[in-house]
Amino acid sequence: MGAVIESVERPQPFADSQARCDEIMAFAASTEASEMTQSELERELEKQVRELKRRLLQDHLDSREGGAAAAPVRDAEGRERTGVREHERTLMTTFGPVQVSRFGYGGEGLESLHPLDGALNLPPDRYSLELRRRVAREAARGSFEEAVEAIRETTGVEIGKRQAEELAQRAAVDFDDYYAARQTSASREPAEEPILVLSVDGKGIVMRREDLRPATRRVAESRQRKLSTRLSKGEKRGAKRMATVATVYGIDRYVRSPEEIFPPPGPRPTLPAARPRPVCKRVWASIEGEMSEVVEAMFREAASRDPHRAREWVALVDGNQQQLRLLRRKAKGYGMRLAAIVVDVIHVLEYIWKAGLVLEGEGTPACEQWVLERMQRILAGEAPLVAAGMRRSATFRGLELKDRAAVDDCADYLLDYKRHLRYDEYLARGYPIATGVVEGACRHLVNLRMNRSGARWSLTGAEAVLRLRALVKSGDFDDYWTFHEAQERERNHFAKYADQRLPIIHVPARRHRGLHLHPVK
């Protein structure tokens, strides 16, 4: 089978769109429109203009006249595709459905290649990349039901919840490759902030049982519940899988004194200096990867921001021993000595309050004063002395073992983590001492979206939504989407042709007459 190009008469391009535009203008000037309220007219015009945009897109696609190749079409194996047929497909766009007619180049036993699909960067499924982008944005913001409703409300397009979930998963496939490419880019500007902060934490997500980690699933399957309709006191569902949350950002120094952080009651003599804000903050989370993989990714991100190791790397954690071990190991692997591994001061404060309630009584001014004095001393670098003092106080007061448990727990915590509680040194160097950024990521990135009432996540669905939310929260979504569309074109089109190059397509010489390809036997 061969092919010849013939010149055939075509309708005037965009005639349908022009006619529709005239209809809208006539409606706006009509008696019917003059009898509407402003809001009624606004809604009606929005609907009509949406249809105009769909027709404009359809007319443009028709003007491409199938995308006839200007030279022989060869596939990735170098085979020339000589068989030519005109195929049509439906594409669902943000304006509604359109039809795309394009020439397919094939051969016996071979799937047809469509050069026009590559020129337009059409996805293999029926949903346009722009519609997928809208779905990804909405899925990152709220539930899939809300995403479907938002798409219907803003575009008039109806998609199912299952389709929305699938589109969100496809939208997130280039997450790792995007950040890997950005980390190796030579165009990144050097940072001015002297401190580079790395912080990691964990947050549980309720999962479908088959997607729990093996140990958690075994516990959930073996647990015997007292009641069939609700949990009894002390019982847990055992349905959560831990997501690892990480953040990397730069920050300026902020030198403070213990009294500035925990001031005594009463008005302050002077206002504190303005607190520096995190710069170039990236947050992300993974439910699929192990903690070690997320920490490794965190160090790769940090290393790309400081290739010459000129900045001070400070790690902020809540005291999780596995996190501490991984931080030391990864730092050693990167040949980087962390300037400090800081245990969050708020976690310390919680332990001090529990001890103070036992020793001084709940809701008393003496308890508040006791906590204030101990925290000021801990920030002055006296954590071991504070631990010893509270133990002596508990012994002197003759507290029973069960009553002094909170005091002993607090003292043990201060002694176990004393190497990470050198707050006097951290404050003098202007380091941050609280994990507020990663705690906020746990709340905003994970909890507010993933742990809605009744939600049960699949592993792939949860990972995709976490990635999309991370892109939005880090301010990278638009840049990522440009990268994603380029990767889609590479995967779906360039990879199918010889030398990974799309065939050159005929451009019609005249707008009212076009080059049309007819199969000839």
pLDDT in tens, 281-298: 999 999 999 999 999 999
Return d(Cα 110, Cα 491) in angstroms, integer. Answer: 18
Burial of 418 (0-12, 13-18, 19+ CB in 10 A): middle
pLDDT in tens, 429-442: 999 999 999 999 99
Cα dihedral 372→377→383→388 (10° resolution): -80
DSSP label of 445: I
Return d(Cα 159, Cα 364) in angstroms, integer. Answer: 59
| Residues present in the chain in total | 521
Q: Please, which pLDDT band fits residue 239 given cuts at 50, 70 and 90?
A: confident
Mean pLDDT computed over 155-161: 94
Mean of pLDDT over the chain: 90
Full set of structural domains in the chain with CATH: 2-121+493-520 (no CATH), 191-220+237-266+277-343+454-474 (3.30.420), 345-433 (no CATH)
Return d(Cα 390, Cα 373) in angstroms, integer. Answer: 12
Three-class secondary structure assignment of 182-225? HHCCCCCCCCCCCEEEEEEEEEEEEECHHHCCHHHHHHHHHCCC
Residues pairing with 102 in the sheet? 66, 87
Residue 24 pLDDT greater than 90, yes or no: yes
Mean pLDDT computed over 300-316: 94
Q: Please, which pLDDT band fits residue 194 given cuts at 50, 70 and 90?
A: very high
If one counts every other C-beta atom within 10 angstroms of the C-beta of residue 331, the result is 19
Which range among 168-172, 211-215, 265-269 shows the weakest confidence by mean pLDDT?
A: 265-269
* pLDDT of amino acid 7: 47
Q: Which residues fall within 8 angstroms of residue 124, CB to CB, at 6 or more apart?
A: 492
The answer to whether the CB of 171 falls within 8 A of the CB of 409 is: no
Return d(Cα 336, Cα 222) in angstroms, integer. Answer: 45
Mean pLDDT computed over 493-504: 94
Q: Please, which pLDDT band fits residue 10 given cuts at 50, 70 and 90?
A: low
The answer to whether the CB of 195 falls within 8 A of the CB of 431 is: yes
Phi then psi dihedrals of residue 173, to 5 deg: -70, -20
Percent of the chain scored above 70 by pLDDT? 90
Q: Which residue has the tokens 């696609």?
A: 61
pLDDT in tens, 447-480: 999 998 888 999 999 999 999 999 999 999 999 9
Mean pLDDT computed over 358-364: 90
Phi then psi dihedrals of residue 14, to 5 deg: 65, 20
Residue 236 pLDDT greater than 60, yes or no: no
Question: In the structure encoding, which two tokens stand for residue 205, read together?
Answer: 């997500």
Return d(Cα 73, Cα 112) in angstroms, integer. Answer: 11
pTM of the model: 0.88
Residue 505 pLDDT greater than 70, yes or no: yes
Three-class secondary structure assignment of 446-461? HHHHHCCCCCCECHHH
Strands 83-93 and 80-81: what pairing? unpaired
Mean pLDDT computed over 178-195: 82
* pLDDT of amino acid 503: 93
* pLDDT of amino acid 231: 53
Which among 323, 351, 475, 341 has a CA at the least distance from the CA of 412? 351
